[in-house]
Structure 1
Amino acid sequence: MAIIEASGLTKTYRSRSGPVHALAGLDLSVPEGTVTALLGPNGAGKTTTVKVLTTLVVPDSGRATIDGVDVVAEPQATRRSIGVSGQYAAVDENLTGAENLEMVGRLYHLGRRAARARARELIEVFDLAEAGDRPVKGFSGGMRRRIDLAGALVANPRVLFLDEPTTGLDPRSRLALWGIIEGLVADGATVLLTTQYLEEADQLADDIAVIDDGRVIAEGTADQLKAQVGGHRVVVTLVDEDDREAVVTTLRRYGVGAVETSADGRTSGIAVDAGPAALQRVLADLDEAGVRLHDAGMRRPTLDDVFLRLTGHAATAVEGEASDATGGTDAGRASRPGRRDRGGADAVASGDTTDATPERVR
């Protein structure tokens, strides 16, 4: 059963250069108790999608529901069932970790004692007991991210939105956060995350939706998406870029579909049906043509291959979406860290859904 449903969502922002269509009829369905990852290049519409679903941006048209509740018609009811962790940790640096969580609890109308108890519980869950009584300004990036994610869980939400949750973290902190997310889903939560890391989607996601130009252009499990690229690929890396045409011609002779070449022109690959036999034939033809190779081999397709095939963009283009005319992050320009406005939490609590609302739903 789907707990998140979106149909025909559109959103256009105004900019100095003209209208920017962040969403152009986006459809999305997220089953309950799963992790769904949104992948897409810069400005594809990932962050705008999250903002619409979390009541921070009102779509121009279309409909979206969370657990059957219309996010536009009933924003307050929607907020009671969701938690949000944005691209940048929304914490008060002058408060301790525990005080930050207590503040969130009070914003959710928990009593003082209940808010303090929930804060202490989450401090333990996120392995921050030794740091919980220290000001957040002394926390590492990984610790800040854990406090931010803990804040999104104060009200025990059924649905959790994570917008690039591990951006900027070191590998160890990323792995730790992956474990936390997996634990949340095991306990029954539903997670919708955007990520710039393809291996993160491969590791965490039950389903992946690829977004480009404001639409979902493909969706399925990681294995299903990889199957669209082909079972195996022959990949060769040249010593001399001048031999690229000879390599492309040879790959086309034995491959299926289009040849994909790296930006520097030295590495090319293609899906093949013949497996290792195709590699042997490619190597024989290139050797006969006098083409020098730095490397050659077979490999299974990755989400990187899927991403490039579906969007025409390199995977490095996934990183941070652009800032829209209202201070959001989607319209094709470089993103920037958000600033938590002290009045923003009150605006959310009172039902204000203007674009100026901070990324964090409290």
Structure 2
Amino acid sequence: MGPTSSHTTTVRSEPIISVHGVHKTYAGGFQALRNIDLDIRRGEIFALLGPNGAGKTTLIGIICGIVNPTSGSVVAAGYDIRKHYRAARAAIGLVPQELHTDAFESVWATVRFSRGLFGKPPNPDYLEKILRALSLWEKRDAKIMALSGGMKRRLLIAKALSHEPEILFLDEPSAGVDVELRHDMWRLVRELREQGTTIILTTHYIEEAEDMADRIGVINKGQLVVVEDKTALMRKLGKKELALTLRQPLTELPAELHAWPLNLSGDGQTLVYTFDSQTEESGIAELLRALNQHGIDFKDLRSSESSLEDIFVSLVQQAQGVKP
């Protein structure tokens, strides 16, 4: 499954999508996007995160040629999306949030029609492979109106893949779907990526972005707050904590330990050491030696670290001028 053109599973250096200086202001003066610059690498999974109304769907609409930017340019698969719309759009598959199609059509007729829209010759074997991968083959003759919500969401994906796009957009694909479909969907996404398809997704399920994405972009109030490799973002902004359960409670910390980023629980039973992901493990060893020198012993310790959700919330708060 996936594009028939030659691909490699290695992420290449040149971008497959380039967005430069994109602004979007709607009638009435609402500014949905502000000076967006974004390059998306060929063959990567890019997750675009942001609160409701942040501009995610508008940005996807502009890249796909559905929404016209007020200013700026977009190049997709080597084509300017406005000057060469048909060629650029043929390289893109879009899975929108809602299904808009003839409810009286059959599943098979719908995916066949979607393929034909992009000038692709009939390829029933390929369409069968898509429908089987999405557990839709047995429903190929069913009318769309008779499908369950989960099956309709699977059909959206099948329609988007029908013309073998190089780029696949998934706009909130997991919203309101069951766990089984979610697992099937992400298994398919991984297979597509291995075959060279570039995947761009928006999601409210941040743990999915943490699990799936190569890079993360965070958008808030129409502006990109950060674009970073996922591992680098978590290393740079992630916080770690070491919680020590003390053998004897403390009423206060010795003055010599005030320089350490330590917090003592109200009952004096737990000491929490907070450090960032760039701190060497030797820092923990030094802390434990310092505690030993002051006769502070512990009976248990456990560590934890920030999730991508913690980082996302912190970035949005910073962008809004709120102290985390």
Q: Is the contact between residue 106 and residue 115 of structure 1 (CA under 8 Å) also seen in structure 2?
A: no
2-structure distance, mates of 1:105, 1:36: 25
1:10-41 CA distance string (max 9 Å, x none): 001134xxx22111001111110111110111
Matches for 1:149-188 after TM superposition, within 5 Å? 149-188=157-196
Match in the other structure for 1:210: 218
Q: What's 1:21 paired with?
A: 31
Select which of 293, 298, 323 maps to 2:303: 298
Q: Is the 8 A contact 1:276 1:298 kept in 2?
A: no
Identity over aligned pairs, percent: 30
SS in 1 for 2:185: helix
Letter in 2 for 1:126: L
CA change 1:234–1:46 in 2 (3 A) is farther
The 1:30–1:269 alpha-carbon spacing in structure 2 relative to 1, beyond 3 Å, is: farther
Residue 127 (str. 1) matches residue 132 (str. 2): no
Confirm or deny that 1:136 pairs with 2:136.
no
What pairs up with 1:269-280 in 2 under 5 angstroms? 271=275
Q: How big is the shift at 1:115?
A: 5.8
Unaligned segments of structure 2, at least 5 residues: 1-13, 245-251, 253-257, 264-271, 291-300, 319-324
Give the 3 Å change call, closer, same or farther, for CA 192–230 of structure 1 in structure 2.
Answer: closer
| Structure 1 stretches of 4+ moved >4 Å | 115-118, 268-279
Corresponding residue number in structure 2 for 1:224: 232
What is the DSSP-based 3-state SS (H/G/I as helix, E as strand, rest coil) of the residue aligned with 1:127?
Answer: coil
Aligned mates of 1:206, 1:120 — CA distance in 2: 30
Distance 1:232 1:122, change over 3 A: same
Which residue of structure 2 aligns with residue 198 of structure 1? 206
The one-letter amino acid of 1:304's match is E
Larger RCO, structures 1/2 (Cα 8 Å, 6+ apart): 1
Aligned residue pairs, count: 272
Amino acid corresponding to residue 101 of structure 1 in structure 2: V
Question: 5+ residue gaps in structure 1?
Answer: 237-245, 247-251, 260-267, 282-295, 314-362
The answer as to 2:52 corresponding to 1:42 is yes
**Cα separation, 2, equivalents of 1:271 and 1:140:** 48
Counterpart for residue 56 of structure 1: 66
1:6 counterpart = 2:16: no
SS at match of 1:4: strand
Work out the CA distance in 2 between the residues paired with 1:134 and 1:269: 59
Larger radius of gyration: 2
Alignment of 1:274-289 (within 5 A): none
Range with bigger deviation, 58-67 or 134-143 = 134-143
1:2: Cα distance to partner? 0.8
Distance in 1 separating the partners of 2:66 and 2:57: 11
Check whether the contact 1:229–1:305 (CA below 8 A) recurs between aligned residues: no
Give the superposition deviation at 1:124: 2.3
SS, match of residue 92 in structure 1 = coil
How many Å separate the matches in 1 of 2:147 and 2:19? 37
Cα shift readout 1:159-179 (whole Å, capped 9, x = no counterpart): 111111111111221111000
TM-score (norm 2): 0.75
Q: How far apart are 1:300 and its partner, in Å? A: 1.1
Residue 213 of structure 1 and its aligned partner are, at CA, apart by 2.2
TM-fit CA distance, 1:312: 1.0
Residue 5 of structure 2 is matched in structure 1 by none
SS for the counterpart of 2:168 is: strand
Counterpart in the other structure of 1:319: none
Q: Residues of 2 paired with 1:254 and 1:94: CA distance? A: 67
TM-score after normalising by structure 1: 0.67
SS in 2 for 1:58: coil
Query: RMSD of aligned C-alpha atoms?
Result: 3.1
Q: What CA deviation, in whole Å up to 9, does each residue of 1:342-362 have, x standing for no partner? A: xxxxxxxxxxxxxxxxxxxxx
Amino acid at match of 1:142: G
- In 1: Cα distance, 2:84 partner to 2:203 partner: 28
Task: Give me the whole-angstrom Cα distance separating, in 2, the residues matched to 1:276 and 1:137.
Answer: 63
